[in-house]
Structure 1
Amino acid sequence: MRTFSLLKGLPVFQLANGDKIGEVVDLCIGKDGRVNGLLVKKGVFLKHHFYLPIDQVNSFGSDGIMTEQGEQLEKWKDKELPEYTFSHQNALEGKLLVSTSGDSLGLLKDVYFSEELGTIVGYEVTDGFFTEITEGKQVIEAEAPPAIGKDAIIVDVNVR
């Protein structure tokens, strides 16, 4: 299990030749709460974004991500856009999390996901900077896939 904040900025390497393809800038998430792919940034001056399907990732390491794909990555603008991303288009970051019982849980700050399954298994929420300092971060474990709407994310949860 890993958080998006730990994944963001990691280099993506091609297994066949060790070339760095780019670095992770976002998660592509379906309406069912599954992580479908990664948004990878390539280039130094002219930055282009590419879509790497999650099933094309061979391994997630602490210092990099390995894939057999390289030049055949789809350009982000050519790709049919995912329903959601974490922080780019149709962003989930900062959305209100509400429990199925109607309780406000806070604003989404980060997600925990299982690399093997590609599913979101937990949510890190915040009520603001001062609450984090006094109470620490709050992690919400997901019982089932979320219902994602334009105003809120509805989750069936266990609060830690």
Structure 2
Amino acid sequence: MKGEISLRRFKALCKKEVYSLKSKRIVGSLRDILVDNKGHMRYIVVNTGNIFNGNWIYGIHNVKSFTKNAIEIKDEARRELRADGDAQSIINILGRMVKSEDKIVGMVEDVHLDLRHRSIIGFEISRGFLMDVCNGMQIILFEDILFKDGYIVCHSRNGLEVYKGGIKNIINREG
């Protein structure tokens, strides 16, 4: 699709305007994305900014594209937001504790999305400001996780990959 950006972080998408191609108007801003247990996007949640309308939910099939400046929907067919038993809210995933072998690995800082395939790639994990600055942030691939009540289980520490450097990694590269 023209103008589509393939890989994005959830925090970069959050609060982007949602534009209806049918009515040629802004219907609100992105508040959340609901995903199934396989990591596929199912719905987007749009904050209308109106206290009487609140949040609206649109099926992911209704999203034409995620552009750099906005999210374009085909029409305004929507429904009221209700809990969907098999859908996870990305907002509720942020800040969750990640464990591996009963040890705390870190907290979910952001979610990396593949917008072309409409799925989660992985979670950005923070181990605390000083550890992140020293060692770099870590990412865990989605296929290596399991959702539990209130936390996420990483099956193996091999799923954790350091990216974006960190002071320790920059020194090792230059040395």
Whether TM-score is above 0.5 comes out as yes
Partner of residue 159, structure 1: 161
The alpha-carbon distance between structure 1 residues 42 and 149, as it changes in their structure 2 partners (threshold 3 A), is: same
> What is the TM-score of this pair, normalised by structure 1?
0.81
Partner of residue 123, structure 1: 123
Which range is displaced more, 46-55 or 57-66? 46-55
> Residue 81 of structure 1: CA displacement?
6.0
8 Å contact 1:32–1:147 — kept in the other structure? no
Hey, which of these two has a bigger chunk of helix by percent?
2
Partner of residue 84, structure 1: 88
The alpha-carbon distance between structure 1 residues 104 and 134, as it changes in their structure 2 partners (threshold 3 A), is: same
The alpha-carbon distance between structure 1 residues 103 and 19, as it changes in their structure 2 partners (threshold 3 A), is: same
The alpha-carbon distance between structure 1 residues 145 and 134, as it changes in their structure 2 partners (threshold 3 A), is: closer
Which range is displaced more, 101-110 or 26-35? 101-110
| In structure 1, C-alpha distance between the alignment counterparts of 2:120 and 2:54, rounded to whole Å | 26
Report Cα offsets for 1:94-143 as digits up to 9, x if no partner: 112234x666431111110111222211211111233333334222334x
Provide the aligned length of Structure 1 versus Structure 2. 153
Aligned-residue CA RMSD (Å): 2.3
User: Which of the two has higher C-alpha Rg?
Assistant: 2
- Percent identity, aligned pairs only? 19
The alpha-carbon distance between structure 1 residues 127 and 85, as it changes in their structure 2 partners (threshold 3 A), is: same
SS at match of 1:107: strand
SS at match of 2:139: strand
Match of 1:36 among 39, 42, 54: 42
Unaligned runs of 5+ in 2: 1-6, 163-175
Unaligned runs of 5+ in 1: none
Structure 2 counterpart of 1:68, one-letter code: K
